């Protein structure tokens, strides 16, 4: 099991640790509910150094990305980030990812330079998939073991980080980034992105600077009541916003159109992996759809639970579920047949011998 540069810090703080994507990661510190509220109302810090970082550079970099990703990477300029997915050849999703257009001087062989941030559990799979695409004048480097990543999230995140840098953080728009000094550390990628919906930044640094950055952020945030946050609250936070989790809500068998990700599936940009399949789905319609589920029982729906209609006929399955700390009630997401996907439709989730009544809703579940 791998460790991040901050593993010992987490243990010292009393974190409940567990294996996740091959890493020894903090699941919670004070408790998921408390950590969740700290991010929604204040500021919290996640160690997400298990994520993967691929650098793609060269004259053929853009052409490669246009082939392997669904969004239109030609819209990117240095300092801009983009959420996208990598379709397979069968209409499913290899992974979802964020693409950063780096300054061109970051390319050692000319052309453009990009940073691809992929899910931790898919690093090896993604690497092999990208390598299968030949004929492009590119250099691709897996630097996942060199970079650490901190997500500083919450309404007070900007104020805490601003005290550590001369970069005007208020000027960095959502899904934009800059590279600058932070806490005396040079070349930090400061990205206005996150997986919580509560605002903040994600900070990419070399591993040797991770402990220094962590300590500086917590010192700067002491008066704001800054808190370390584990992966448990990361999941409840993203689910309240309706953000997809790879392996649960999207996978090799799900289409981005079924998952509500048509907005990152740019069919007009030209041919790309599975684009013909997606075009057909758009023209003929999809058969199922990922929806939000507002559960009218105290029991939490779990991944894999069957969803039925009022007659007991199976119409889908749950992909994610949790007890929403903000709402104080269970929520979930799942795929249902298109004729049951309309907002307000009453469905039932089979949980053992019980059937949990639920209403189809459109995420996000909370308005911030």
- How many other C-beta atoms lie within 10 A of the C-beta of residue 297? 16
Percent of the chain whose pLDDT exceeds 70 = 100
Confidence of residue 357 (pLDDT cuts 50, 70, 90): very high
Q: Is residue 204 part of a domain?
A: yes
Q: How far apart are CA 47 and CA 28, in angstroms?
A: 12
Q: Is residue 250 part of a domain?
A: no
| 29 and 99 both lie in a single domain | no
Q: Is residue 367 part of a domain?
A: no
158-196: pLDDT as tens digits:
999 999 999 999 999 999 999 999 999 999 999 999 999
Q: Cβ distance 255 to 286 under 8 Å? A: yes
Confidence of residue 269 (pLDDT cuts 50, 70, 90): very high
Q: How far apart are CA 35 and CA 28, in angstroms?
A: 8
| 187 and 307 both lie in a single domain | no
| 40 and 88 both lie in a single domain | no
| 43 and 150 both lie in a single domain | yes
| 174 and 231 both lie in a single domain | yes
| 43 and 60 both lie in a single domain | no
83-129: pLDDT as tens digits:
999 999 999 999 999 999 999 999 999 999 999 999 999 999 999 99
Number of domains forming the structure of the chain: 3
Given 183, 214, 240, which residue is the final one in a domain?
A: 240
Q: How far apart are CA 277 and CA 255, in angstroms?
A: 9
Q: Which runs of E-coded beta strand occur in the chain? A: 16-20, 23-28, 44-47, 52-58, 81-87, 93-102, 112-118, 139-142, 147-153, 177-182, 185-191, 200-206, 227-229, 288-295, 306-308, 314-324, 329-337, 346-351, 354-361
Q: Is residue 137 part of a domain?
A: no
Q: Please tell me the predicted confidence (pLDDT) of residue 168.
A: 98
The predicted model gives 153-160 an average pLDDT of: 98
Q: Please tell me the predicted confidence (pLDDT) of residue 161.
A: 98
Q: Is residue 351 part of a domain?
A: yes
Confidence of residue 331 (pLDDT cuts 50, 70, 90): very high
The predicted model gives 336-343 an average pLDDT of: 98
| 209 and 153 both lie in a single domain | yes
Q: How far apart are CA 294 and CA 112, in angstroms?
A: 45
The predicted model gives 290-296 an average pLDDT of: 98
By three-state DSSP, how is residue 47 classified? strand
E strand or H helix at 302, and its extent?
none
| 78 and 96 both lie in a single domain | yes
CATH code assigned at 345: 2.40.30.110
Q: Is residue 138 part of a domain?
A: no
Q: How far apart are CA 265 and CA 236, in angstroms?
A: 26
| 21 and 88 both lie in a single domain | no
How does DSSP assign 89-127, residue by residue?
TTSSEEEEEEEEEE-GGG-TTSSEEEEEEE-GGGHHHHH
Q: Please tell me the predicted confidence (pLDDT) of residue 353.
A: 93
**Alpha carbons within 13 A on the beta-carbon side of 9:** 16
Q: Determine the distance from the C-alpha atom of residue 295 to the mean position of all C-alpha atoms in its chain, rounded to a whole number.
A: 24
- Tell me the pLDDT of the chain averaged across its residues: 98
Domain that holds residue 168: 7-48+146-240
Phi-psi map region of 225: left, alpha, beta (phi>0 left; psi -120 to 50 alpha): left
CATH code assigned at 194: 3.30.1360.120
| 64 and 99 both lie in a single domain | yes
Q: How far apart are CA 184 and CA 206, in angstroms?
A: 13
Q: How far apart are CA 329 and CA 322, in angstroms?
A: 9
Answer yes or no: is pLDDT of 243 > 90.
yes
| Direct distance between the N- and C-terminal alpha carbons of the chain, in angstroms, rounded to an integer | 37
**Backbone phi, psi, residue 61, to 5°:** -60, -45
| 319 and 334 both lie in a single domain | yes
Percent of the chain whose pLDDT exceeds 90 = 100
Q: Please tell me the predicted confidence (pLDDT) of residue 368.
A: 87
Which of these, 326, 347, 334, lies nearest to 305 by C-alpha position? 334
The predicted model gives 341-353 an average pLDDT of: 97
Q: Cβ distance 23 to 1 under 8 Å? A: yes
Q: Is residue 105 part of a domain?
A: yes
Q: Please tell me the predicted confidence (pLDDT) of residue 301.
A: 97
CATH code assigned at 103: 3.30.70.1400
Q: Please tell me the predicted confidence (pLDDT) of residue 341.
A: 98
Answer yes or no: is pLDDT of 8 > 90.
yes
Answer yes or no: is pLDDT of 359 > 90.
yes
Confidence of residue 21 (pLDDT cuts 50, 70, 90): very high
Going from the C-alpha of 279 to that of each of 168, 249, 275, the distances in angstroms are 42, 21, 6
Q: Is residue 324 part of a domain?
A: yes
| 217 and 100 both lie in a single domain | no
The predicted model gives 213-229 an average pLDDT of: 97
């Amino acid at each position: 099991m791998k460790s991040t540069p901050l593993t010992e810090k987490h243990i010292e703080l009393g974190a409940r640790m567990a294996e996740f994507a091959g890493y020894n990661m903090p699941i919670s510190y004070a408790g998921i509910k408390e950590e969740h509220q700290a991010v929604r109302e204040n500021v919290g810090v996640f160690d997400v150094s298990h994520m993967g970082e691929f650098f793609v550079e060269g004259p053929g970099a853009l052409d490669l990305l246009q082939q392997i990703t669904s969004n239109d990477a030609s819209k990117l300029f240095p300092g801009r980030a983009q959420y996208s997915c990598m379709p397979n050849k069968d209409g499913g999703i290899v992974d979802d990812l964020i693409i950063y257009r780096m300054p061109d001087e970051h390319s050692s062989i000319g052309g453009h330079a990009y940073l691809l941030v992929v899910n931790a559990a898919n690093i090896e799979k993604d690497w092999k998939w990208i390598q299968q695409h030949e004929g492009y004048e590119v250099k691709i480097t897996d630097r996942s073991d060199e970079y650490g990543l901190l997500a500083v999230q919450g309404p007070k995140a900007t104020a805490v980080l601003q005290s550590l840098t001369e970069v005007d953080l208020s000027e960095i728009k959502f899904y934009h980034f800059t590279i600058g000094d932070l806490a005396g550390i040079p070349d930090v990628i400061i990205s206005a992105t996150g997986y919580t919906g509560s605002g903040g930044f994600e900070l990419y640094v070399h591993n040797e600077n991770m402990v220094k950055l962590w300590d500086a952020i917590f010192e700067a945030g002491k008066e704001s009541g800054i808190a370390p946050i584990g992966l448990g609250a990361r999941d409840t936070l993203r689910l309240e916003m309706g953000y997809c989790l790879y392996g649960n809500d999207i996978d090799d068998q799900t289409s981005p159109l079924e998952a509500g990700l048509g907005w990152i599936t740019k069919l007009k940009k030209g041919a790309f992996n599975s684009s013909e399949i997606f075009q057909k789905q758009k023209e003929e319609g999809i058969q199922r759809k990922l929806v939000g589920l507002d559960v009218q029982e105290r029991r939490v729906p779990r991944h894999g639970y069957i969803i039925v209609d009022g007659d007991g006929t199976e119409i889908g399955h749950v992909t994610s579920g949790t007890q929403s700390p903000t709402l104080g009630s269970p929520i979930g997401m799942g795929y249902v047949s298109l004729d049951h996907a309309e907002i307000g439709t009453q469905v039932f989730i089979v949980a053992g011998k019980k059937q949990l009544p639920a209403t189809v809703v459109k995420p996000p579940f909370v308005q911030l």
